[in-house]
Each structure stands twice: as C-alpha cells, then as structure tokens.
Amino acid sequence: MKNFIRKVAAVSAGVVMLGTTLGAAVAADLSNLPEPIVTNGAYISTAMVVGSNDDIGARTTLKTYFDGLVTSSSDYTYSTDYDAEDDVELDSNIAGFGAVDEDLLTGLFEGEIEVNDTDYTSREVFNFTSGASINTSWQSTYDDFGTDPYLAYAAGSLFYGYLFTDNVPNEMVSSTKELPLTFLGKDIEIVSIDSDGSPDSVTMDIATEISLDSGATYSYKGHTVTLVRVYSTSVSVDVDGEEQIISTASEKDFGDDISVELDSVGYSSDDPALSSAVLKLTEQGVSSTAADGDAFEVFTDYDTNSHSPWVWDVEIDGSGNLARFGIVNRFGADDITPSQSYKPAPITVDGTVVFPNDYAALVWDSVDTENYADFEITLSASTTLNDVDDTSIQVTSVPVMTIDSPDGDYFKSGSSNYETMYLAFNNTNGAYVGTQLWGEDSEGTHRLDTSFLTSDSFTIDYNTNDDDIAITYANVSENTSVNLTITANDWVARTLWTYANNYFVTDGEADATDITINNTLLGTREYPVLLYDGAYFDTPKSNFQSDRIKFSIPSQDLKSTFKVYLIESAGKTEADLMTSTEDVTGYDNLVLVGGPCVNSVTADFMDTTFPACGTASGIAQDKAVIQMITQGEQTALVVAGWEKADTQRAATKVADPESVLTGASMIV
C-alpha cells in the first residue's frame, strides 16, 4: 500500500465530524500533559485564568510552554448538512464544483438583504477555478511530489464571498443606511460604495460591538476589557491594566493592539453601578476599506501587507453598483517546501485549505482505491530455462529479461495467467535468431513461443479500468537490443534492453533516455513518477543505476473526492487569556494560575470558599501545588502557590521539558 493511499485511513482521525468531540477524553493525570490542553498540535477550548496581576508572569511562562507545542489549527468539527462534493481524476481540476451555495451547503446565505427599505437578492458562495488542479510527479514542474498527488492552485483560484443578483446602488448605502452581511461568520456592515475610485472598493464597519454593565469584563483577542465606571456622556475603560476615559462617539487606542470606541451609554443617575455602555472593539491597523486586490486583514493585521494570504475581490459595475464582494487567495501553492514561510503549500489526501476565521474548509477527503500490485523488471546475462511440461525444451545460458510480480499471477498470455514472464534471447553461432517468451506459474516455467521471434506481447490483467495493459517487445537491432513498450489507456512507457551487453541503454548508469513515458524522458528522475491513473514508476534514477525497473499499478484508476464544509468549531492556535471575574463556563479546559486566595475559579475547583488564604487554602507555606482536576465536563490544570514566587516556581516546573510530572497532584 502506497504513501498517499495510507493517508485515506487517517481521514477519520483528522476530519472530525459533527457529533464527535475534538479532544478525546483524557484521564486527569499530569503525565498526560500537554493533553488535553494541547492535542494534535492545537489548543482545545482552553482559557488561562489568573486571579491577580501578580501571577501574570507565571501565566506567561505556561503560555509560552504550551504555545511552543502548537503546530496548527488542525482539528475541526465540520457541518454534515452538505452536498458540496466533487469526484475528480488525477489529471483534473476542481472547477466541477461550480458555485457552492446554499443549495449544496446548508448554512450559507441565499435570499434578500434589506438596505434602506429595499431588498436586494444575493447569495454567499465558494468558487474554484480550473487553476486549482490535481498534479502528479509525472509533470517535470512537480517531480518532487513523488507518489503523492497534490492539489496545486494558482493565485485567485479560490473565491469566497457574496454575489449580488440585484446589484446594490452606491447611493443606497451610507453610515445610516448600512448593507449588513455575515462575512466568514462575522457580522459586518458596508457603509459606503466607492463608485468613482480605482480599484473598486467599499468601506466597512468591522468592529465587534459589545454591551457591558458597569464593572463587567470581556475577553477580546487575548485582552481583558473592563467597563470600570459609566458617566452621563463618557465611560472609564480598562484594558489589561491601562485605564482611559472615552467620550461618546470617540475612540481610544490601548497599547499597540486594540482600539475601543464608545457607541452609547445607559447611565443611571440614581445608581451609577446599574449603568451600562455599548463599546466597539477593533484591532489597530486593520483597515475598514476593502479595495480590490488589497490585503484582507479583517481577522489578522499582517506586519507586511503583501504577506496576507487572502486579498479582497470587489467588483463595482459601470453604474457604480456593488456586484461582488469577497476574497481570493493571494498566492499560488505549487511547492511542497515554499520559499517563503507565509506562502501556502499544496495539499494532498486528508489535507485542507481553511478559509479565514476558521469559517469553512476545502477538504481532500479520500482516494477511492487501496490496492496496488508491484512489478519489477530485471536482467540476467546468463540464465537457463526448462519447460516443466517437456524437459527436452530449454534455453541454456542465455540473456534473459525477467518481468515479475510478487503479488499475484497478473500476467496473461493467451488464456493463461502467470506470476513471472521471461524474455529469452538466443544467438546461435553469432547469427541473429530473436527472443522467446516464457511464463512461470505455480507449476513451473512454460515456453510460450515455439520459436524465437522478432516481436510478441502479453498483458497485465489487474486494473479493472484497464485490463489489457500490454507489454510488447520488438527487436530493433540485430544482436544488440530489444525495445520494450508498456501501453496503458492513459500512458505509454518505453525502454531499451541492450541484451548484447545486458543493461538498459547505458551500463550501470542512469540516463534520461532510459525510459520515456508519453514521450517525456524520465530516466534520471530522483523521485517516484506518479501517473494520472495512479500507476507509478519507482525512483527511475536509482533503479536504472542497478539496471532494473520497478512500477506499481492500482486495482482501478484513482479518483479523488473533495468536499467543502462549514466549520462548526476548531482547535485554536491560541488560548484565551482571562481573569477569574470572567465567565469560563464555555471552555473544556482551564489553566488556573494562582491559589484560592486570589483566584476564585481555583477556589471552586479546589472545593474551598473564596477567598481561601493561608492554611485555609490547603497549600503548605512556601510550597505550590500542580494538580489536574475534572469537574463536570471541564478539566483544569491548577498551578497555585502559597504566594507569588511559589506559583512562579510551579509554572516553571510544568514548562521544564526535563520535568517528570505524574499522578493527579504534585507538591513542589
């Protein structure tokens, strides 16, 4: 079974379907770390919670440790309500999907959008062009693909967005007459359409809008936002310890990461503690303008805009009306080791292309065969063959080409099947005679040609789509060589047996002309050559250096299945950083930093009444506890000390790769 076929079995593990859990249940034991917090290279629904700013350093130590174990956002739960599927052969592209819309993928939008009391028909779609195609190592551009087929895709070949059947006039949209869209799962509003500029562009409101009561907190992109107090026309907001006053309709930057705008206040003069406010949160540096071809940065602010993997795809018609609003991939993916880290690699079986915000995925779901038969062609300068049916029939000490399959009797000549075929060359007193075909089955060897011929053929009977793959030999030069041809439906391979000296083309060397497939010289290829039906020739260069040919044929021509899913949930590349005053009930896993004297969530998991200080904490003086606790459906890693220095020491112990952690609890 070959490399990319083996990956089919892995699909069930890598593609987590609706109704299953991202992280399998793991016993509450320290020896299982980093699971369940980090599983298969991704955070699994994790919050890191401190109760005191004094313990932020210890949390940073733990975060750095777990972050170093994260490789990708690789575990997804996919929606199963879909019919977005395409079966393609290895020489095809995935444009056959057509437009993937609500008819194929339930959950996408299709209908009317109201703008300024007028309805406009639109649909949310994915589109894939012929620039996204399966490629194999048979093509010289992709010779390092080896036995794995890859979906290589050109820049601009993957599209997501909205297509408007009724184009939206620019004069209908403004900051008070918004065009609302749920884009990649995020609610945004288009507040203007640029009808005169170039490139085509629109302006959006992309802020995350939240309503907070006085004193409440909200976690936003790893930052803790607290509404400290509310005044009649302004509020005091704290972000990670930085507090500022913001007036209505004004915006303030906090640090280098986020901005906070005060949208409105609900002020209670009788009891200011009952007041509330609506805040709009945005990332600094993320543009609210979507211009065709510009970097797409709604969810990530790239230090270098040209490194963004997606760009805006905006079309405004000649009348200034919005016709298309979406994104396309910026870079092509055709190199399995991209020259720049920000460029994507092509995907193979069980691989995914994930759209921003973990919204949806194009998945190479499977390849539809698991069976291969191997074949090998070798040469011998002097071999004797005896006919098992008539011992008087033999050839003695002659050059022989052996064509063998260790997997079964797949060679067919006439009405009989054989495990091994032999081409025997005979030269009597230097006079040209020819070659003779022999076959071997479980009973022994049989002479199949009664005389020495200038040409003959037999077939390989294995592939159900191509049950007459012919192997033909013909003498092309007396006393020198035989031309061998293997002919399938989709390819023709040719080589030359120089039997006078017993080698292929060049003695003990690999030459480009050693083998041609569909007229392409492949004798010096250093990787296996995969053909479009799934057959492949194993590493031509090294094999021809040993004067042999190895190839494998699938039981049926390969077809691949691609699917498009909406993502219900995803393993994350980051854990949420929170305080103990925030609601942590929605998380599967918690990292609780600080003891029950300062961290109310720690107190809850340690079954003490907050604040539990001193001996009431259950932690000995100058000691710390590292503990795994399961409570309901949540698992918590508790890292808590008698005081700040003890908590830090315990965090360092967890983060030390040389540490041996065992059991449910340890004292350090």
pLDDT digits (tens, 9 = 90+) for 443-494: 999 999 988 888 899 999 999 988 789 999 887 566 678 889 999 999 999 9
Instruction: Report d(CA 422, CA 385) in Å as an integer.
Output: 9
Q: Which residue has the higher pLDDT, 287 or 6?
A: 287
**Tokens in use for 216?**
């409440």
Do the beta carbons of residue 665 and residue 625 sit within 8 Å?
Answer: yes
286 pLDDT higher than 80: no
Stated as kind and residue range, the H or E segment containing 7 is: helix 3-14
CATH 3.30.379.10 matches 33-71+574-667: yes
Query: DSSP label at 582?
Result: S
Instruction: Report d(CA 434, CA 489) in Å as an integer.
Output: 29
Instruction: Report d(CA 630, CA 23) in Å as an integer.
Output: 14
429 pLDDT higher than 70: no
Stated as kind and residue range, the H or E segment containing 3 is: helix 3-14
20 pLDDT higher than 60: no
Cis omega (within 30 of 0) for bond into 199: yes
Average pLDDT over residues 527-541: 94
- pLDDT, tens only, 196-244: 878 999 999 888 889 999 999 888 877 889 999 999 999 999 998 899 9
Instruction: Report d(CA 72, CA 211) in Å as an integer.
Output: 32
Three-state SS string across 24-79, please?
CCCCCCHHHCCCCCEECCEECCEEEEECCHHHHHHHHHHHHHHHCCCCCCCCEEEC
Q: Percent of the chain having pLDDT more than 70?
A: 91
Strand duo 46-50 + 576-579: pairing: parallel
- pLDDT, tens only, 251-266: 999 988 899 999 999 9
86 pLDDT higher than 50: yes
Would you call 376 helix, strand, or coil by DSSP?
strand
pLDDT at residue 29, rounded to an integer: 85
pLDDT at residue 157, rounded to an integer: 98
Instruction: Report d(CA 9, CA 48) in Å as an integer.
Output: 35
Poorest-pLDDT segment among 47-51, 105-109, 121-125, 286-290:
286-290
CA 428 to chain centre: 62
Poorest-pLDDT segment among 74-78, 130-134, 523-527:
74-78
Mean pLDDT of the chain: 88
pLDDT at residue 478, rounded to an integer: 60
Q: Which of 260, 305, 303, 299 is nearest to 280 (CA)?
A: 260
End-to-end CA distance of the chain: 50
Three-state SS string across 401-459, please?
EEEECCCCCCEEECCEEECEEEEEEEEECCEEEEEEEEEEECCEEEECCCCCECEEEEE
pLDDT at residue 427, rounded to an integer: 63
pLDDT tier, 1 (very low <50, low <70, confident <90, very high otherwise): very low
Q: In the beta sheet, which residues pair with residue 463? A: 466
Domain spans of the chain, in order of start: 33-71+574-667, 76-206+287-367, 208-283, 372-557
Token pair 């980090």 is found at 38
Would you call 533 helix, strand, or coil by DSSP?
coil
Do the beta carbons of residue 622 and residue 646 sit within 8 Å?
Answer: yes
10 pLDDT higher than 70: no
Please state the φ and ψ torsions of residue 259, each to the nearest 5 degrees.
-125, 150
Query: What order of strands is seen across the sheet that includes strand 310-316?
Result: 110-115, 118-128, 158-169, 321-329, 310-316
Q: In terms of C-beta density within 10 A (0-12 exposed, 13-18 middle, 19 or more buried), how is residue 394 classed?
A: middle
Q: Which of 658, 660, 623, 650 is nearest to 61 (CA)?
A: 650
- pLDDT, tens only, 317-345: 999 999 999 999 999 999 988 888 889 99
Stated as kind and residue range, the H or E segment containing 607 is: none
50 pLDDT higher than 70: yes
pLDDT at residue 474, rounded to an integer: 84
What CA–CA distances, in Å, run from 81 to 94, 105, 128, 349, 532? Answer: 21, 7, 20, 22, 32
Cis omega (within 30 of 0) for bond into 36: yes
Instruction: Report d(CA 485, CA 529) in Å as an integer.
Output: 17
**Tokens in use for 366?**
């499977």
pLDDT at residue 433, rounded to an integer: 67
Q: Which of 380, 493, 505, 487 is nearest to 438 (CA)?
A: 380
Instruction: Report d(CA 425, CA 107) in Å as an integer.
Output: 68
What CA–CA distances, in Å, run from 24 to 11, 29, 44, 372? Answer: 16, 14, 10, 34
